[in-house]
Amino acid sequence: MVSYGQKMFTTTDVGDVLALEYSNYLNLNEIQLEHKSVVMDFTSLLDSSTFGFGVDYTNHSLDFDDYNRYHNYADFEELHSIEIYARYKMNLVNNWDLNITVAPYLSSTLNESMSSEDVVFSYATNFIKTWDNDGLKSTLKLGAGYGALFGKPNFYPLISYAKEVNKKLKYEIGIPVTGIYYQVNEQSSFDLKAEPESIYANNAAAFSLENDEVLRNSKLEFKAITLGLGYKFRFDDNWSTYFNMGYVMESELGISENDNTVYDFGSNESIALNIGISFNLNKK
């Protein structure tokens, strides 16, 4: 549940959780990247027209030791992301729903006083059609969003089709998430997903270049696609833990200013490990 609400826009997620997560990217071209997240999600408060809200804090730690011999990247070693989101779901006709999400967030090094450069106003709107075939559900989602889901803030489509093949197996095809989900029993489940990973953070402090030019409001941008195999174990109706091993593809990591690349770290493929624990408030 990191990277500016990536779980927010899937058709297979479950809300109403308190969760802790830790992620480690083992080698992005000699750069270590870690995420530590705390998520409080309350998005299924009512059964019909639904109001929900949540807050998510992520600390990103980067290790530039192999690059600091050429330049000082200390300002970018600790990044902070705080997202507050609200959702509204309204039932329409013929099993169609309208889902609106508003999610402003701050993403910054916090090395200077906060400004508008540290904040991104993200949002999404989509229409959801649900079919029920002998107790097996299929879902079509059509919509669009704006935010840093794929790196620099921009518009992106939200298109997916999810289907329960049987009581244990379901799949989802679309953007931003494509995956297969298998429920072994009441306690154990697996998933195989391809989904985006991203960071887009502002550094308001002065950043000096090799030619003695000084930049302010420079941006660190990381974006990638992760193919991950995950395992979830439910201890009881409330507590569960999750482990994921992923392969990071198409990754890019760099520093920019006014859309001009200042430094490209030439990020490459990596193995990513993720572990989390969550407390489910509504026992779904």
Residue 86 falls within a domain, yes or no? yes
Q: Are 176 and 8 in contact (CB under 8 A)?
A: no
Q: Average pLDDT for residues 245-266, to the nearest whole number?
A: 88
| Phi, psi at 170, each rounded to 5° | -145, 160
Residue 251 falls within a domain, yes or no? yes
Place 201 in a pLDDT band, splitting at 50, 70 and 90: very high
> CA-CA distance, 168 to 34, in Å (whole number)?
33
> CA-CA distance, 158 to 123, in Å (whole number)?
12
Residue 231 falls within a domain, yes or no? yes
Of 58, 66, 61, the closest CA to residue 266 belongs to: 66
Task: Say what the pLDDT of residue 52 is.
Answer: 81
pLDDT in tens, 35-84: 999 988 876 654 555 788 888 999 999 988 777 666 788 889 999 999 99
**């997916």: which residue's tokens?**
160
Task: Say what the pLDDT of residue 2 is.
Answer: 36
In this structure, what token pair is assigned to residue 260? 């001009």
pLDDT in tens, 220-236: 999 999 999 999 999 99
Considering its fold, how many domains does the chain have in total?
1
Asked if pLDDT for residue 245 goes beyond 80, the answer is yes
> CA-CA distance, 243 to 166, in Å (whole number)?
24
Q: Average pLDDT for residues 207-216, to the nearest whole number?
A: 78
CATH number, domain of 80, equals 2.40.160.40
Of 245, 268, 236, the closest CA to residue 23 belongs to: 245
Asked if pLDDT for residue 237 goes beyond 90, the answer is no
Residue 63 falls within a domain, yes or no? yes
Place 87 in a pLDDT band, splitting at 50, 70 and 90: confident
Residue 193 falls within a domain, yes or no? yes
Residue 160 falls within a domain, yes or no? yes
Residue 1 falls within a domain, yes or no? no
Task: Say what the pLDDT of residue 123 is.
Answer: 93
Residue 149 falls within a domain, yes or no? yes
Asked if pLDDT for residue 239 goes beyond 60, the answer is yes
Question: Residue 169 belongs to what domain range?
Answer: 6-280
In this structure, what token pair is assigned to residue 166? 């049987």
Task: Say what the pLDDT of residue 8 is.
Answer: 43
Q: Specify burial of residue 256 (Cβ count, 10 A radius: 0-12, 13-18, 19+).
A: middle
Task: Say what the pLDDT of residue 281 is.
Answer: 76
pLDDT in tens, 155-167: 999 999 999 999 9
